């Protein structure tokens, strides 16, 4: 055995204690840390012939890596849709590494898989989805969209009397995929599925919105009767807009299409009685994508794919081999997901749900949405910015008065360290998005965010 391996094994309790103290002090200041990372000027790592041992590797991490990490776990990182990690989720995630389970079967008697199933049940209950929904852990919303659309592809084949999982996409005789504002990960999934990134047709949006125009969708469906998939949004990434699922369900009853909903973060609206109407009707979807490393605030990577079509899921993803056992009536995740071996993602989610429950998560969602609305109101009444869309959930989409300044504002604000927001393009013009999805974010943080934005915009005006 490598001498460092045996030394590290013997010193593990002391090493873990040192790491634990360091982690606690980092998390203690993540709320006040500079949000975006300062430029790094460190030599790149290279593979040593003889190792350094865990303690020196840790020292190197502290001096060379950590100082230039973004405070993405903190409360004012409003870029992308970034969740943090609740205390219980961090504990759960640490224990994932300690126990290092591979919940692919129960052949070794481990209860890891049972806990994974129980956690799926807890999540289904949290989101208020009916029992018919089967949930499968995946690495995030991209893979969740992939799973949902893989099942849609299999269903399209069934409509035509072919099994795509056996015969391949070449056997598919025509299909229609309709969407208004799909997330880029959904079109990426179409590429990965061999259907093609450009295989979808754009349905017109309601005026000034990112949500589908129902009448336009009806016209498209009437023209394309037969094998059709509709990709709908519960929370578009630009403006947090929602398709009207009750309308979609009425159309689904009329035309019989596959309804996939990307609810990566918007699915969390179901946690609050105030916001739940946004997702009303989603329980009639065929497949639903929800991210967990966003608003559930568990560490990366974690998402869940819900579907009511277990048979199609087994057709697409079953992984049959004598050494793995047979596909049971209640199939193991290896027969339901793209991955075979996988991290015990359920444990951080289980810890977090057990620690904070339905009420704890409802409070996080409602607080984040309240803060987003407040930021939206300030922007609306400001002479420095334009609010580009009503704040329906947790995303504030806005722009500098001079639209061409958006990128410079984002850079200036990032360099100031008070907050971090990300750019986008809305209705062909530059825009800025701020997404609230961290469990720590408070009224005090909102003040710092606002101050950073105002200072950034004033600087631009002064330099104009
Ligand atoms: C609506 C939506 N769908 C899918 C994704 C992709 O998520 P992930 O990065 O977890 O794959 C995102 C990410 O922000 C999103 O907002």
For 19-53, how does the pLDDT look when each residue is reduced to its tens digit (9 = 90+)? 999 999 999 999 999 999 877 788 889 999 999 99
Contact residues of ligand 1, CB 6 A cut-off = 80-81, 140-142, 183, 185, 235, 237, 262, 264-265, 291, 303
* Residues near 319 by beta carbon (within 8 Å), at least 6 away in sequence: 334, 335, 340
Give the separation between CA 116 and CA 101, rounded to whole angstroms: 11
Contacts of 455 (CB under 8 A, 6+ apart): 416
**Tens digits of residue pLDDT in 76-96:** 999 999 999 999 999 999 999
C-alpha 143 to ligand 1 mean position (Å): 9
- Contact predicate 456/409, CB 8 Å: yes
- Chain centre to alpha carbon of residue 194: 23
From start to end of 65-208, where are the E strands?
134-138, 176-179, 200-202
pTM for the model stands at 0.98
Ligand 1 atom with least separation from CA of 140: 10
For residues 134 and 121, what is the distance between their CA atoms, to the nearest angstrom? 9
Q: 162: helix, coil or strand?
A: coil
Contact yes or no for 164/171 (Cβ under 8 A): yes
Spatial contact of 336 and 103, defined as CB atoms under 8 Å apart: no
How far from each other are the two terminal CA atoms of the chain, in whole angstroms?
65
pLDDT of residue 43: 84
Beta-bridge mates of residue 396? 434
The Å distance, Cα 241 to ligand 1 centre, comes to 14
From 77, 80, 81, 395, the mutation candidate for ligand 1 (largest count of ligand atoms within 8 A of CB) is 81
Whole-angstrom Cα distance, residue 276 to residue 268? Answer: 8
- Cβ(368)–Cβ(378) under 8 Å? no
State residue 328's pLDDT score.
87
Question: 3-state DSSP: the chain helix, strand, coil percent, rounded to 5?
Answer: 50, 15, 40
**pLDDT tens digit sequence for 175-214:** 999 999 999 999 999 999 999 999 999 999 999 999 999 9
- List, for residues 114-163, the tens digit of each pLDDT value: 999 999 999 999 999 999 999 999 999 999 999 999 999 999 999 999 99
What is the C-alpha separation between 45 and 29, in angstroms, rounded?
A: 27
Give the single-character DSSP code of 242: B
Please tell me the distance from the alpha carbon of residue 113 to that of residue 109, in angstroms, as a whole number: 10
Distance 328 CA to ligand 1 centre (A): 32
Look-up of token digits 């990434």: 237
CA-291 nearest atom, ligand 1: 10
Residue 185 alpha carbon to ligand 1 centre in Å: 7
> What is the Å distance from ligand 1's center to 145 Cα?
9
Using only C-alpha atoms, the chain has a radius of gyration, in whole angstroms, of 24
- Index of the ligand 1 atom closest to the CA of residue 142: 11
- For residue 6, what are the CA distances in angstroms to 11, 15, 54? 9, 13, 11
């Amino acid at each position: 055995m490598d001498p460092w391996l045996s030394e590290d094994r013997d010193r593990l309790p002391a090493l873990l204690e040192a790491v634990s103290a360091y982690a606690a002090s980092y998390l203690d200041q993540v709320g006040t840390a500079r949000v975006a990372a300062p430029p790094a000027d460190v030599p790149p790592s290279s593979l040593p012939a003889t190792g350094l041992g865990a303690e020196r590797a840790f020292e190197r991490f502290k001096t060379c890596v950590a100082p230039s990490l973004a405070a993405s776990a903190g409360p004012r990182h409003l870029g992308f849709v970034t969740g943090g990690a609740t205390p219980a989720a961090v504990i759960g995630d640490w224990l994932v590494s300690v126990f290092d389970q591979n919940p692919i079967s129960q052949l070794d008697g481990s209860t890891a898989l049972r806990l994974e199933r129980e956690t799926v049940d807890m999540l289904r209950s949290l989101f208020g989805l009916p029992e018919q929904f089967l949930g499968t852990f995946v690495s995030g919303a991209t893979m969740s969209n992939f799973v949902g659309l893989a099942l849609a592809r299999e269903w399209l084949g069934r409509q035509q009397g072919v099994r795509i999982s056996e015969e391949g996409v070449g056997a598919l005789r025509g299909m229609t995929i309709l969407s208004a504002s799909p997330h880029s990960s959904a079109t990426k999934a179409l590429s990965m599925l061999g259907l093609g990134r450009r295989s979808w047709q754009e349905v017109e949006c309601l005026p000034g919105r990112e949500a589908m125009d129902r009448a336009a969708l009806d016209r498209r469906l009437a023209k394309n009767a037969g094998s059709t998939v509709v990709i709908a949004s519960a929370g578009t990434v630009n403006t947090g807009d929602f398709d009207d699922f009750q309308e979609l369900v009425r159309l689904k009853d009329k035309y019989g299409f596959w309804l996939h909903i990307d609810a990566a973060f918007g699915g969390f609206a179901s946690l609050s009685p105030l916001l739940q109407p946004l997702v009303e009707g989603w329980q009639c979807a065929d497949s639903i994508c929800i991210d967990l490393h966003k608003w559930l605030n568990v560490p990366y990577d974690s998402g869940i794919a819900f579907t009511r079509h277990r048979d199609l899921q087994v057709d697409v993803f079953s992984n049959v081999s004598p050494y793995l056992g047979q596909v049971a009536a209640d199939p193991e995740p290896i027969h339901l997901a793209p991955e075979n071996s996988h991290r015990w993602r359920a444990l951080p989610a289980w810890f977090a749900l057990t620690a904070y429950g339905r009420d704890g998560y409802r409070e996080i969602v409602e607080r984040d949405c309240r803060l987003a609305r407040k930021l939206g109101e300030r922007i609306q009444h400001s002479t420095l910015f334009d609010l580009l869309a009503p704040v329906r959930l947790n995303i504030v989409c806005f722009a500098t008065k001079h639209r061409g300044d958006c990128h410079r504002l984002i850079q200036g604000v990032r360099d100031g360290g008070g907050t971090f927001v990300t750019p986008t393009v809305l209705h062909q013009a530059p825009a800025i998005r701020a997404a609230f999805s961290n469990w720590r974010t408070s009224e005090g943080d909102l003040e710092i965010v606002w101050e950073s934005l105002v200072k950034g915009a004033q600087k631009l005006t002064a330099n104009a």
